[in-house]
C-alpha cells in the first residue's frame, strides 16, 4: 500500500533521474579538431556519374567537357572518295575530322574533310555558322537559295558556298555540304587568305566533282 511518504520518495527519484539525463545531454562533447558536424556528400544524378559521365555498362562513352563521342568510321562502301589534284597531299585521320588535304601552292590555306552522322543540324544552320565565323550576318531560306551553287557528283547533289569576310584583309571560305544517302553528312571546306584560295579554287572544285563512294562511282 502506497503511503504519502512512499509517494514523495518516488517523485523525488523521478525528478533526480530526469535531471541526470539533462546533464548528460548538456555536456556531450564534439571531438577536438572538428568545428562542424560532417556533411552528407551529394549523390550523383540518377542514371549518371559525377562529372556528367554515362553510367558504366550502357550507352555511348561520354567524353570530357561535354563533348560528343565521334561517329564510328564508315564501312568501305560508304566512305567518301575523291581524285586528288596534281601536287596535293592528303592525310586520312578518321572520325569526325576524316581527312586533311594540303594544296601544292604555299600560303595560309587549309582544306578539311569532316564527317558527321545524321543531318548534322541541316544546311541552313551550318551555312549560317560558317558566315558567323567570318563575321557575316545570317541568312534565311531565301538567302540560302540565292548563294547556293549546286554541283552534281556521283556521290550525290552537293551544295557549294563561297563566303568572303568584309574588311581590308579578307578571309575566304569555300565550303561544300553533301547529305549522303548512307545517313552521314560530309563537309569539305577550303579556308584561308583570299589570294591562295583563288589560286586553288579550280582544283578544289574539280576535287568536289570527282566525289564518289566506290571504285565505280556508284553511291
Q: With bands split at pLDDT 50, 70 and 90, how would you rate the model's confidence at 50? A: very low
* Domain locations along the chain: 71-209
Residue 46 pLDDT > 70, yes or no? no
The confidence score (pLDDT) of residue 191 equals 94
- Which has the minimum average pLDDT: 49-53, 147-151, 165-169? 49-53
The confidence score (pLDDT) of residue 179 equals 85
Residue 9 pLDDT > 70, yes or no? no
Q: With bands split at pLDDT 50, 70 and 90, how would you rate the model's confidence at 190? A: very high
Q: Which CATH architecture has domain 71-209?
A: 3-Layer(aba) Sandwich (3.40)
The confidence score (pLDDT) of residue 27 equals 43
Instruction: Supply 209's cell numbers.
Output: 566533282
The confidence score (pLDDT) of residue 200 equals 95
Amino acid at each position: 500500500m502506497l503511503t504519502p511518504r512512499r509517494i514523495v520518495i518516488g517523485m523525488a527519484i523521478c525528478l533526480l533521474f530526469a535531471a541526470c539525463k539533462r546533464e548528460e545531454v548538456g555536456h556531450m562533447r564534439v571531438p577536438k579538431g572538428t568545428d562542424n558536424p560532417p556533411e552528407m556528400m551529394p549523390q550523383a544524378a540518377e542514371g549518371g556519374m559525377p562529372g556528367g559521365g554515362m553510367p558504366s555498362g550502357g550507352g555511348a562513352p561520354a567524353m570530357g567537357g561535354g563533348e560528343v563521342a565521334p561517329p564510328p568510321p564508315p564501312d568501305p562502301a560508304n566512305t567518301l572518295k575523291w581524285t586528288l589534284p596534281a601536287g596535293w597531299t592528303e592525310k586520312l585521320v578518321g572520325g569526325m575530322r576524316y581527312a586533311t588535304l594540303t594544296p601544292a601552292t604555299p600560303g595560309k590555306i587549309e582544306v578539311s574533310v569532316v564527317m558527321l552522322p545524321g543531318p548534322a543540324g541541316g544546311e541552313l544552320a551550318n551555312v549560317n555558322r560558317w558566315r558567323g565565323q567570318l563575321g557575316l550576318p545570317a541568312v534565311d531560306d531565301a538567302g540560302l537559295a540565292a548563294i547556293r551553287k549546286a554541283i552534281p557528283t556521283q556521290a550525290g547533289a552537293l551544295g557549294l558556298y563561297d563566303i568572303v569576310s568584309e574588311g581590308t584583309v579578307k578571309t575566304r571560305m569555300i565550303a561544300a555540304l553533301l547529305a549522303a544517302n548512307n545517313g552521314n553528312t560530309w563537309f569539305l571546306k577550303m579556308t584561308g587568305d583570299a589570294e591562295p584560295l583563288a589560286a586553288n579554287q579550280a582544283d578544289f572544285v574539280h576535287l568536289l566533282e570527282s566525289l564518289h563512294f566506290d571504285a565505280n562511282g556508284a553511291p
